[in-house]
Amino acid sequence: MIEIIPAIDMIEGRCVRLSKGDYTTKKVYNEDPSEVAKMFEDTGIRRLHVVDLDGAKAGHIVNHKALEKITMTTSLLVDFGGGLKTSQDLRIAFECGAKMVTGGSIAIKKPFEFMSWIDEYGPNRIILGADAKEGKIAVTGWLEETDTDLIPYINNYVSKGISKVICTDISKDGMLQGPNIALYKEIMKAQPNLHLIASGGVSCAADIDRLEEAGIPAVIMGKAIYEGKISMAELQKWV
């Protein structure tokens, strides 16, 4: 069964969502992300994806206090990303209760440092964030595009020990127009044993069904829940 992973994106300690990663489209859904996390936990959700959008832009962890409040007030298994550029950032994230971290920009800009994280903490605690726009990797809170092709990039890191990848099609993120299932199928064809976590575009329960039918192991969703397109009751099917 596909794993359901709600997302909490944070700016200034608040729960927000963007569209296509554009910070000017920010919409605040709750002043206290821990309240949202508790709602998910009460539904039976066990896993949570938390993104520090301020950190992604600043290049260092910012919203660690909000992360700590989530992990102190729930028993959710939290993976955390956004602004993790140094071993110090990583240490803060883990000390604040994250069980896993996602490295995006660091993996392309400082691959040796990213590999050192895998060596130190193991591939079960380090997730590769491979976010793409038109098939090319984008970094720094999606503000910066690269010439690096997505699938060869993933293949390279899998060969080095990575077993979990979060892949967001940026053009789909926050648009509620359905996920890029063709892209995820292509990745799974290249890496059949990969724990691929699809992200971006989920608009309804039927989208989750389609991802499950395509053999995608896990899915992250945010705006569809916050905008009432998917109810907590509907999520019970996969919990």
**Is 9 a residue of the active site?**
yes
Task: Point out the catalytic residue in the list 52, 54, 131, 173.
Answer: 131
**Is 131 a residue of the active site?**
yes
Q: For residue 100, is it left (φ>0), alpha (ψ between -120 and 50) or beta?
A: beta
Cα 205 from Cα 228, distance rounded (Å): 11
Tokens representing residue 114 in the block? 């990213």
Longest dimension (CA), the chain: 44
Distance separating the N- and C-terminal Cα atoms of the chain: 9
Residue positions annotated with a catalytic role: 9, 131
